[in-house]
Amino acid sequence: MRRIREPTSAFTLIELLVVIAIIIILAGLLFPAFRGVQNQAKRTQAKNDLTQIVTAVNAFYTEYGKYPVVVDDTPIADNSDLFYTLRAVASGTANAGNAANPRKIVFISPPDVKNSSQPKSGIGTTSSTGQYFDPWGTPYKIAIDGNYDNQIANPYSDTDGSAGGDPNATPAYALRIGVIAWSYGSDRLLGTGVGGKYKDSDDVISWQ
């Protein structure tokens, strides 16, 4: 007797291509949502880092009766000296030989970056050694009340012309605080200041 073959079920090439196309479309729809979640996680990390920085500087002030490594209110251009001091690392200019932190107190202990050639989320170990980088790879910006007048110029307050165009004028929205810190966010650019706040910006700041 002849054995009758039963038809076998299998994907045709067209069906396989349709399935692949559906997967690609779904991935395309989910990718922006994933990026949004990832960016929000970075913003949260940056906010936590800024809180720790401000807390560490204030703790240094409580311990030594002065702020570390500053002589005026100018925002710190290179934050490595500050973090050598706060980390009790006898290096850099200000804390060479533990000069700025003679009691060797560790006020903050951020991790080292994972990739020194593209430093993110931690202390740089090769590129820009000693600087504290945000999750997007830009060093955190910090300003400290080195004049001890209980105010720091708001970096977002002068662009609306509130200081009358006078470069020596006190900004109308000076911050009554001892230390501020901020991150430029994913665009790595300072936001636009209006009325002491910022707009069109993804910056993360410590004082709001």
Name the 3-class secondary structure at 198.
strand
Task: Evaluate if residue 42 carries a pLDDT over 90.
Answer: yes
Give the span between the Cα atoms of 87 and 77, in whole angstroms: 18
The percentage of the chain sitting over the pLDDT mark of 90, rounded to a whole number, equals: 54
| pTM of the model as a whole | 0.78
* 110 CB-side CA count, 13 A: 31
Task: Evaluate if residue 165 carries a pLDDT over 50.
Answer: no
Residue 63: predicted pLDDT: 97
When computed from its CA atoms, the radius of gyration of the chain, rounded to whole angstroms, is: 26
Residue 172: predicted pLDDT: 53
pLDDT tens digits, residue range 102-147? 999 999 999 999 998 889 999 998 756 899 999 999 999 999 999 9
H helices present in the chain, as ranges: 13-64, 80-86
pLDDT tens digits, residue range 62-95? 999 999 999 999 999 999 999 999 999 999 899 9
Q: Taking all residues of the chain, what is their mean pLDDT, rounded to a whole number? A: 84
CB atoms within 10 A of CB 195: 13
Q: Cα angle vertex 11, ends 10, 12, to 5°?
A: 115
Is residue 204 within 8 A of residue 183, CB to CB? The reply is yes
